[in-house]
Amino acid sequence: MILNITAIVIGLVAIGLFIWSIKDQSMTNNLVDGDVRAMENCYKALMKDFTNYQVETDRKIVQLEKDLEYQNNKFNKRIDKNEKELPTVIRNVVGHIEFARPLDKK
């Protein structure tokens, strides 16, 4: 009779521990699931920021290339203009030198 009561008590304790274990595992699963969702959101935000950074960097590079090309063309035009005007400037300078009078002879 005592063995029957002990067996019933041990059986009830085992069932109670099993139910408690299931509830504890369920709570742990919910906590881990919440952490996983938070990590997914963080990774998505990080991916979005990195993509925006890449797009902005590409836009800046394109803009800098355009600015550099504009400046290069501007300087090339200036050099071409100076090369075209150079013979007349040389003629003017040489002409002044040829027809100059010495300053110490009066």
Give me 43's structure tokens: 């990774």
pLDDT at 106 over 60: no
CA 15 vs CA 21, 22, 28, 90, 91: distances in Å: 10, 11, 20, 110, 113
Q: What is the pLDDT of residues 33-79, one digit of tens each?
A: 999 999 999 999 999 999 999 999 999 999 999 999 999 999 999 99
Question: What pLDDT is recorded for position 47?
Answer: 95
- pTM of the shown model: 0.50
Q: What angle do CA 15, 18, 23 make, to 5 degrees?
A: 125
How far apart are alpha carbons 17 and 27 in whole angstroms?
15
Q: Where are the domains of the chain?
A: 27-99
